[in-house]
Amino acid sequence: MIFLLLSFYEPGFEPAVKIEKKKEEREFNEYRMLTLSIIRIYQVTLSGIMGDVCVFEPSCSHYGYQSIKKYGIFLGLLMTFDRLERCSPFARSYYPDFYGMVYVPGRGYKLYDPPEENLP
Amino acid sequence: MIMLFFLTEVETFLNPSLVLKFAQELEREGDTFRAITEYKRYAYLVPEKRDSIYFHIVRLYMQEKLYPNALDVLIKINRRDTVWENLAGYLLLKTGNHEEAGKYLHGKKRALFFAYTGKYDSLKLIIPVEPPELKSKLYAAFLSTIVPGLGRMYAGRVGDGIFSLLAIFGTGMNAYYMYEKGNKPLFYFNVALAAGLYLGDIYGSWVAAKRENEKRKRKFIEKVEEEVLK
């Protein structure tokens, strides 16, 4: 039995590709979960009542959700507040220098502004 | 019957002059990708003209802004002269390999390398162009710290700046109004919102300056490209 177990033992053996969980999956942050939950609740309740008022794609709430999920609560919240201030009738005047235009089924033409383009 | 047809007509299908004519016709029609396939077929049928045809394919890919594909074809060309090297350098720049591109670009074309890598002093020695005036990200953030929205205005986004100022001022005033009324929950909510918007504005000014610089650099590179490639 011992011989059999030892036959499987390989000193220094490591898998060729290490499967590492992403940081965001590994760490459970209750503040982030709370913020994301608030955004989800807003999307399910108030967002539907207010209608499609955002000029961007992804919309401000989706942008906030994605940025907090990807970049953590501090940077994510900063990015979200920045986006809320940019979501105004003036935004369309910055096309095409800063934003691209994209057609979103059901929402029409929107300014394309993903979180990745607004990193510091 | 079909087999017989193909066997008798195979010489017509693989006639190099007909293939070339067909490729040119497709190119004239604007069907670039099918034209590229036919040009490749012609290059296969007439190996002695392979290099010149491959150069043409590279130009067609460049026309369609498919730079990695153009580079793939360029590598297959055996003729390695200055034209080839300059083209390779240009395509390497377009595909993001800036440092590698520096090894290939010669003469006036080397200006492109300096423009892409931001070495404006060296660029000036080749072409007399003024480097782009870049906005300071730190200064933009500092301006927004003093007066909300001012940093965005400095970065060239006046509308966003005005909107930010109004948003922060509005929530601040609302917080004060709630404080006067003695509504503490709404007072705290508005204070938190105003603080968030204020910090977001500082961050936004930094990003706006960064993106403005990117835009200016992009336009400058376009200008240099126009100057060099004309």
For B147-202, write each residue's pLDDT tens digit. 999 999 999 999 999 999 999 999 999 999 999 999 999 999 999 999 999 999 99
A47-72 pLDDT tens trace: 888 888 899 989 999 999 999 999 99
0.85 surpassed by complex ipTM = no
> Edge-to-edge, what's the strand order for the sheet holding A100-104?
A56-57, A108-112, A100-104
CB of A28 within 8 Å of any CB in chain B? no
- pLDDT at residue B136 tops 70: yes
The stretch B18-25 carries a mean pLDDT of: 93
> A27 — contact with chain B (CB < 8 Å)?
no
What is the C-alpha to C-alpha distance for residues B115 and B124, in angstroms, rounded to an integer? 10
Cα gap B202→B171, rounded to integer Å: 16
The mean pLDDT of B74-80, rounded to a whole number, is: 87
Indicate the number of domains in chain A: 1
- Residues of chain A with Cβ-Cβ distance to B160 below 8 Å are 85-86, 88, 90-91, 94
A88 with B204: Cβ contact below 8 A:
no
Closest by Cβ to B159, choosing from A77, A79, A93: A93
Q: What is the topology classification, in CATH, of domain B14-131? A: 1.25.40
Where exactly are the structural domains of chain B?
14-131, 137-220
Domain of residue A71, residue span: 2-118
Identify the top-confidence range among A103-112, B6-15, B143-152: B143-152
Q: Which of B162, B200, B210 sits opposite A81 (nearest CB)?
A: B200
For B97-134, write each residue's pLDDT tens digit: 888 888 888 888 888 888 888 888 888 888 888 888 99
pLDDT band with cut points at 50, 70 and 90 for residue A26:
low
Say how many CA atoms lie within 13 Å of B139 toward its Cβ.
Answer: 7
The pLDDT tens digits for A78-97 are 999 999 999 988 898 888 88
Q: With 60 as the cut, is the pLDDT of residue A25 above it?
A: no
Q: Residue B207: closest CA among chain A residues belongs to which residue?
A: A120
- In the chain, the amino acid numbered B184 is K
**Span B50-59, pLDDT tens digits:** 999 999 999 9
Answer whether residue A16 shows pLDDT above 70. no
For B164, which of A77, A85, A93 is closest by C-beta distance?
Answer: A85
Collect all residues of chain B within an 8 Å Cβ-Cβ radius of residue A78: 199-200, 203
Q: How far apart are CA B35 and CA B210, in angstroms?
A: 41
